[in-house]
Chains A and B, each alone.
Chain A
Amino acid sequence: MARVVVLGAGVSGHTAAAFLRRWLRAEDEVVVVSPKPDYNWLPSNIWVGLGRMQPNDVLIPLAQIYKRHGIIFKQAKALSLYPEGSDKLDQPHVKIESTLAEGAAAQELLTYDYLINATGPKLNFAATEGLGPSGNSLSVCTADHAQEAAHTFLDHVAAMKRGARRRFVVGTGHGTCTCEGAAFEYVVNLEFELRRHKVREQAEVVYLSNEYELGDFGMGGAHIRRNGYITPTNIFTESLFAERGIEWIIRSHVTKVEPSRIFYQTLSGEEYELPFDMAMLLPPFSGVGLDAFDKMGTNISSRLFAPSGFMRVDAAYSAKPYDQWKASDWPRSYQSSEYSNIFAAGIAFAPPHAISQPHYTATGVPIFAAPPRTGMPSAMIGKAVAHTIADRIRGVERAPHMASMSELGAACVASAGADLVHGSAASMTVFPIVQDYDRYPEYGRDLNFTVGEIGLAGHWLKLLLHYLFMYKARLLPGWTLIPE
């Protein structure tokens, strides 16, 4: 009998656990440890954040699903790893702490044969003074945050219907943020909702971002074929904003958020203030802060984790200048660089470097988008890691399964208005996610599979994906037929 422990039940962890259960023998155990009771289909939080969906529409309680499929679920958070065992237990184990109301703070040592770290990110609101729902800005990173954002938004809409004017600021709350695609999606949806509520004339909508150019999205932008030209995505995004009257500020690092004022500096070193009535600013991400100890009790966290807190895997982490970055620097198997029975999947692995070109102010403040890890690659990574572990447990001798972001493509459908007849979305596909200038010398990507367009079809696609992936996450009959 073997036991695989999966830390985290997001897209990557949930996918890995589901496939492991399918591929492993009945006597093997799959244990999922997650501090929250629900799976959250994050891409649809955008709609919760504007009141078009409720949290229940994007959350799925995990306990029953896992019980039905023979997966052991522990609602707990991981505190520390002991990959060589400890003075209490010889076997590798992880210390977890219950987050159940009735078992609060109860700790347990959970042994494993294989461990998948799929903890996702810590939402590092503390990186910027006043950032986040407990400070002075809003977020859509969790269903609860999104619901709070929706309440605030609808209050402002009600005030505007009575004649008030409002300024909405949406974007990134720090110079090193990622997930600009989510901020982009929220701002265009917000603008659509203002029009739907017939209060657009009384609103100023501003997009504030750390991106060097609009449409960078943390992947260095992309080039797409459009109407006889090969166009960079900044043209595509600027057009979309200009058409909707959304103003933008880029190359910015938010330094402080006061109750109605954002302080930010730009790449050129200038400092500004931006008054607002409602601000939805995404936080930067970091690792969740797991500590690791060797058999002697020595803290070995710096060997397992990068300074960002994300886990080191089979990537080329040696520092080198931007012009020497290679697609082959990116990890392929996601096996820990220190322990062959530990893997990191989804957002939990440490990228070897950014995808976008780094930029710093004269005083050394980094202002550039960090690499995104959207649903499709996160799920593919989770599945590949599960496959490798299942092979090893079943004694199948074969090379690890690969899911390098420099070889995987991704589709991203950013809703720009939720309506079956008048709505729209920006649909983008990129292949590969990380540019590979050896294979595709001119643009780093295959232009046959790197596309972008705006239209109602994108909204239908986004809606279809919502229902398909909610079905798949429930592990209902035929779930394996739905691709990652």
Chain B
Amino acid sequence: MKSSAYATKPTRVTRWLRVFIPWQVIRFIVLNWKIIQITRRNEHLS
């Protein structure tokens, strides 16, 4: 089994941001925007 000792791990701030609701609302909007852009590109192709 691989040791996880050398893997990158998140800091406390990063872990906190992942569940900090105002920041996650912004990320939700950004992710949706990215996905909409991809679906637009896909639709344009067909």
Q: Which residues in A have some Cβ–Cβ distance to B below 8 Å?
A: 206, 235, 238-239, 241-243, 245-250, 376, 380, 383-384, 387, 401-404, 407-411, 421-422, 424, 427, 429, 431, 449, 451, 453-458, 460-461, 483-484
The answer to whether A403 and B46 touch (CB under 8 A), given A242-B7, A449-B37, A455-B27, is yes
The answer to whether A241 touches B41 (Cβ under 8 A) is: no
Interface of B is mostly: helix
The answer to whether B7 touches A206 (Cβ under 8 A) is: no
The answer to whether A455 and B4 touch (CB under 8 A), given A407-B45, A484-B42, is no
From A250, A456, A461, contact of B32 by CB (8 A): A461
7 smallest A-B Cβ distances: which pairs? A242-B4, A242-B7, A409-B38, A457-B28, A457-B27, A483-B39, A238-B7
CA distance A484 to B40 in the complex (A): 10
Chain A CB within 10 Å — which of B21, B36, B45, B46 has the most?
B46
The answer to whether A429 and B35 touch (CB under 8 A), given A239-B7, A249-B1, is yes
The answer to whether A409 and B19 touch (CB under 8 A), given A247-B2, A457-B25, A457-B28, is no
Interface residues on B, range: 20 to 34
Residues from chain A with a CB closer than 8 A to the CB of B41 are: 409, 431, 449
From B4, B19, B38, contact of A431 by CB (8 A): B38
CA distance A407 to B34 in the complex (A): 16
Output the least CB separation between A360 and chain B (Å): 21
Q: Which residues in B have some Cβ–Cβ distance to A below 8 Å?
A: 1-2, 4, 7-10, 15, 17-19, 21, 24-25, 27-28, 31-32, 34-39, 41-43, 45-46
The answer to whether A248 touches B17 (Cβ under 8 A) is: no
The answer to whether B24 touches A457 (Cβ under 8 A) is: yes
The answer to whether A454 touches B18 (Cβ under 8 A) is: yes
From B8, B21, B27, B35, contact of A238 by CB (8 A): B8
